[in-house]
Amino acid sequence: MGHNHDVDAEVDVDVVVVGAGFAGLYRLHKMREIGITARAFEQGGGVGGTWYWNRYPGARCDVESIDYTYSFSEELQREWRWTERYPAQPEILRYLNFVADKFDLRRDIQLETRVESASFDDVTATWTITTDRGEVVRCRFCVMATGCLSAPKRPGLDEAAVFDGPTYHTGLWPHEDVDFTGMRVAIIGTGSSAIQSIPQIAKQAAHLTVFQRTPNFSIPARNGPIDRDRERWSDEHFAEFRSLARQSGFGSSNVFNPQSAFAVTAEEREAEFERRWQTGGIAFLGSYMDLLFNEEANELAAEFVRQKIRETVHDPEVAESLAPRNHPLGSKRLCIDIDYFETYNRPNVTLVDLTKTPIVEFTAQGIRTSAGDHDLDAIVFATGFDAMTGALLSIDIRGRDGLSLRDEWIDGPRTYLGLMVSGFPNLFTITGPGSPSVLSNMVISIEQHVDWLAALFTHMRDNELVCIEATDAAQDAWTAHVNEIANLTLFPCANSWYVGANIPGKPRIFMPYVAGVAVYRQRCDDVAANDYEGFELTRA
Ligand code: NA7
């Protein structure tokens, strides 16, 4: 490990932050608060990250507004009023712009700039960042706030080039209005993005054909105006409300039932599922504590949802195709919908089950499956993302001795605490693989990482430390621990993007840390209290 760093080497800025979404914005704010200079580069034409790009019809967060907000400023919470139970994309984007203005963050953000490479120099313990605008910036710390779901996956895009009409990806939606009125539209995929946009597109298009490879479990959102009483309570009990979220598993104020599904009678269980179904949202997964641990318990909840699908969808064959059977409920991100299954009762919506009739090819007129041709005017890819590692690996990141992150992670990501990678000193991944990240309320997890790093930077400054690196041993132990915990659950059973299964050739490794945000926070705090155990910190 490197020592004797030449700390007098000039840096342009203490910290470069890559990305200006929820993570990048708070990062900038926090750095200013502790007197460390920071500059952010953002590929988009505005701040907002995920919420800048995902503008597809119906785009909405599946975490409730009241929880999906920064908790670092009580004043911010009181100044901002959400309108709906679940925030729609335009409103979240307005919120993030409001935050950027309120905390005067824009002056440190350079938009429309893609970071192309980052390389570490062991002699000076500095990173050199290059951008697609030809800038070269030297900094002490490099913070990747690049997001977990920000590298869109476009299978068949090359093949689709033969198609005469327009094609879209939900994660790269145009900024101008897309009008499908009178059009024959296809959508490929039935994940969260598709499940949100299908009902909206169906209302506009002349005809919508849904190409489904894997059906997903979806719970009604029961969206509506925000509950002002609950909002008032959260204002009046700010500290308690926020602390509850931080001490929870998921990072929200949802109530999870500590009981086993087998501790009650069949009638009681049915009543609890029904109650949660009627309440709506992701809290359905919290009906019983063993849904994500015990296959039989899970099957009870899964069958409840399948029965709901059968009751909702009039055509029994379509209902059967829509009923998920190849993965436990919740082992893929549970979808939250508004009128999704109901939409299949519309006369202008057709479901194509790709397990029965796969796509053969794209043609100038549309899509050919093994059963015949679908003539189309537009195709929407709702095919997801190269999750958790895609955005990081799209940058050429070089650690000590030119070590490439792409090579290091060839067999899958390995990190210490989801925060650092051995061999890459002074480089941090906000909500990186190996942290709760996508299995939590992202805002809570982002804040926890940013706060933890702020304490670290202060510690380093106070102790004249210039370099920090995770040890190999700590990284090995953490990576093993992340997998061990995941293997106690049903999560690894699904071919989900949590394991990289949606990207052909991507190594299969379970990426998020499933033990929950409270356990994880304690772990990170213990590491810090224990003199940053597992990290090696060096002086000049
Ligand atoms: P997801 O959840 O990854 O969904 C992508 C969907 O696209 C899913 O149904 C895939 O089927 C389908 N897909 C992907 N590739 C293909 C090909 N080649 N052919 C047919 N169908 C395909 O992405 P989303 O954008 O919906 O949601 C991502 C996250 O954002 C979500 O979990 C929330 O956390 C927010 P598959 O299941 O792979 O068979």
Q: Which atom of ligand 1 is nearest to the CA of 194?
A: 26
pLDDT tens, position by position, 174-191: 999 999 999 999 999 999
Q: Whose CA is nearest to atom 23 of ligand 1?
A: 384
Arithmetic mean of pLDDT, 95-121: 98
pLDDT tens, position by position, 355-405: 999 999 999 999 999 999 999 999 999 999 999 999 999 999 999 999 999
pLDDT score recorded for residue 10: 79
Distance (angstroms) between ligand 1 centre and the Cα of 152 equals 10
* Ligand 1 environment, Cβ below 6 A: 149, 155-156, 170, 188-194, 213-214, 333, 354, 382-385, 497, 502
- The token pair at 282 is 């992701």
Distance (angstroms) between ligand 1 centre and the Cα of 509 equals 18
pLDDT at 3 over 80: no
Q: Which atom of ligand 1 is nearest to the CA of 384?
A: 23
Angle at 112 between CA 107 and CA 116, to 5 degrees: 110
Which of 138-142, 222-226, 398-402, 505-509 is least confident?
Answer: 505-509
pLDDT at 304 over 90: yes
% of the chain residues with pLDDT over 90: 94
Kindly report the average pLDDT of the chain as a whole number: 95
Distance (angstroms) between ligand 1 centre and the Cα of 114 equals 25
CA proximity to 145, closest of 467, 455, 447, 513: 447
Arithmetic mean of pLDDT, 69-75: 97
pLDDT at 52 over 70: yes
pLDDT tens, position by position, 233-245: 999 999 999 999 9
| End-to-end Cα, the chain, rounded Å | 13
Distance (angstroms) between ligand 1 centre and the Cα of 525 equals 35
pLDDT score recorded for residue 534: 98
Distance (angstroms) between ligand 1 centre and the Cα of 333 equals 10
H/E run at residue 42: none
pLDDT at 117 over 50: yes
pLDDT at 305 over 60: yes
Q: Which of 56, 169, 193, 354 to mutate to test the pocket of ligand 1 (most atoms within 8 A of CB)?
A: 193
**CA–CA separation, 379 and 176 (whole Å):** 17
Q: Whose CA is nearest to atom 14 of ligand 1?
A: 383
Arithmetic mean of pLDDT, 24-28: 98
Q: Which atom of ligand 1 is nearest to the CA of 502?
A: 38
Q: Which atom of ligand 1 is nearest to the CA of 438?
A: 34
DSSP line for 286-299: GSSTTTTT-HHHHH
pLDDT at 502 over 50: yes
Distance (angstroms) between ligand 1 centre and the Cα of 64 equals 22
Q: Which atom of ligand 1 is nearest to the CA of 190?
A: 9
Q: Whose CA is nearest to atom 34 of ligand 1?
A: 333
pLDDT score recorded for residue 255: 76
Residue 205 near residue 380, CB atoms below 8 Å = no
Q: Whose CA is nearest to atom 29 of ligand 1?
A: 192
DSSP line for 346-415: STTEEEEETTTS-EEEE-SSEEEETTEEEE-SEEEE---B-TTTHHHHTSEEE-GGG-BHHHHTTTS---
Q: Which atom of ligand 1 is nearest to the CA of 501?
A: 38
Arithmetic mean of pLDDT, 107-126: 97
Distance (angstroms) between ligand 1 centre and the Cα of 189 equals 5
Distance (angstroms) between ligand 1 centre and the Cα of 186 equals 15
pLDDT score recorded for residue 318: 98
pLDDT score recorded for residue 540: 78
How does residue 465 score in pLDDT terms, banded at 50, 70 and 90?
A: very high
Handedness of CA 78, 81, 85, 90 (dihedral sign): negative
Arithmetic mean of pLDDT, 391-420: 97
Q: Whose CA is nearest to atom 3 of ligand 1?
A: 384
Q: Enumerate residues 6+ apart whose C-beta is below 8 A from 108.
A: 28, 32, 38, 39, 40
pLDDT tens, position by position, 190-226: 999 999 999 999 999 999 999 999 999 999 999 999 9
Per DSSP, the three-state class of 225 is strand
pLDDT score recorded for residue 1: 42
pLDDT at 159 over 90: no
How does residue 6 score in pLDDT terms, banded at 50, 70 and 90?
A: low
Q: Enumerate residues 6+ apart whose C-beta is below 8 A from 275.
A: none
CA proximity to 110, closest of 135, 88, 87: 135
**CA–CA separation, 435 and 445 (whole Å):** 8
**CA–CA separation, 313 and 219 (whole Å):** 14
How does residue 9 score in pLDDT terms, banded at 50, 70 and 90?
A: low
How does residue 2 score in pLDDT terms, banded at 50, 70 and 90?
A: very low
> pTM here?
0.96
CA proximity to 14, closest of 111, 108, 133: 108
- The token pair at 460 is 């380093």
Q: Whose CA is nearest to atom 27 of ligand 1?
A: 192
pLDDT score recorded for residue 329: 98
pLDDT at 7 over 80: no
